[in-house]
Structure 1
């Protein structure tokens, strides 16, 4: 199942379908955007086997040049994405697909520290069962506590995420 209605927070148990959906989407994005992009990454909790997640496929795209993000808008619109701008996070172009939302694209210039942190956190969870289990428990607790407030759900995960990133030499 994919799709998270606006203003809701709920988690779905990890499924291999998420990886298959990412691969389908990645292929379409690469075919549509071609040489404007360097890499397409599966990010977020749907990218981590055995981790429950909000049912949205998060995609990280590396650009050769941040300014190329505006050149990607029409191509991504042809794939059903809506451009949401750059104002939410610094140095990021943001796109969403579907209502309820099924996919999100976070587009950064290659070398972006923010993208490096996202990838490092994902990779750490993939290799560390204890951290994965602790994060799973935290996410379940917070999703029940903040089922109608995505911002609080996200904010209260920050301390855990930052502790992992600190241990990896970030922050």
Structure 2
């Protein structure tokens, strides 16, 4: 039997301005479901960068007030249709998916987790540099064609691009966290 990851197909589509509105709706539902357990909810990933081609999956970053608050959000988020996936390879993360096919990824971290800054810096860098965003879109389209049946290979193949941005003056790397 194939794993869920191997069954998913990588499809990159042109930017859709509705993604911003979908995030706003989702953020409101998450804040209400988790009550005071999250201090902020951010739109991250390629769908958060105007004009950038992306997989049509809204990536969401929720900042937990306390590390232990994540476990208290699992049931309320489940009522919104989010499926808890554990840490999914990143210690300290609460990872959720929603939709069939997937339409949302929710990453919850304590505020001091290095992934918080990494996600926000990469998003902000791509928003501020149209040339970098265009190059990333081109790369994603080529990789989606090459690795359409292999989500892990697609994700890994983007590492070099992120590492290159990581090393640029003013690039997103400010701390010791490394993009995956």
Same fold (TM over 0.5): yes
**Deviation string for 1:75-97 (max 9, x for gaps)?**
10111111111142121100011
Q: Distance in 1 between matches of 2:103 and 2:69?
A: 24
Q: Distance in 2 between matches of 1:157 and 1:170?
A: 20
User: Paired residue for 1:130?
Assistant: 131
- Please tell me whether residue 102 in structure 1 is matched to residue 103 in structure 2: yes
Give unmatched runs, 5+ long, in structure 2. Answer: 1-5
User: Paired residue for 2:72?
Assistant: 71
Q: Distance in 1 between matches of 2:41 and 2:7?
A: 25
Q: Distance in 2 between matches of 1:162 and 1:116?
A: 15
Cα shift at 1:6: 4.1
- Any conservation in 1 of the 2:83–2:96 contact (CA below 8 Å)? yes
- The correspondence of residues 57-68 of structure 1 with structure 2, limited to 5 A, is 57-68=58-69
Structure 1 length-normalised TM: 0.93
Give unmatched runs, 5+ long, in structure 1. Answer: none
- Please tell me whether residue 164 in structure 1 is matched to residue 159 in structure 2: no
Q: Distance in 2 between matches of 1:153 and 1:25?
A: 26
- Any conservation in 1 of the 2:63–2:111 contact (CA below 8 Å)? yes
- The correspondence of residues 46-61 of structure 1 with structure 2, limited to 5 A, is 46-61=47-62
Q: Distance in 2 between matches of 1:144 and 1:10?
A: 8
Q: Distance in 1 between matches of 2:52 and 2:111?
A: 27
- Please tell me whether residue 12 in structure 1 is matched to residue 13 in structure 2: yes
**Deviation string for 1:21-75 (max 9, x for gaps)?**
0000001111111210000000111101111111111100000112110000011
Structure 2 length-normalised TM: 0.89
- The correspondence of residues 86-101 of structure 1 with structure 2, limited to 5 A, is 86-101=87-102
SS in 2 for 1:85: coil
- Any conservation in 2 of the 1:43–1:59 contact (CA below 8 Å)? yes
- The correspondence of residues 78-89 of structure 1 with structure 2, limited to 5 A, is 78-89=79-90
| Structure 1 pair 170–126 and aligned structure 2 pair: CA distance change class (3 A) | same
Cα shift at 1:165: 2.1
- Any conservation in 1 of the 2:97–2:105 contact (CA below 8 Å)? yes
Q: Distance in 2 between matches of 1:58 and 1:7?
A: 16
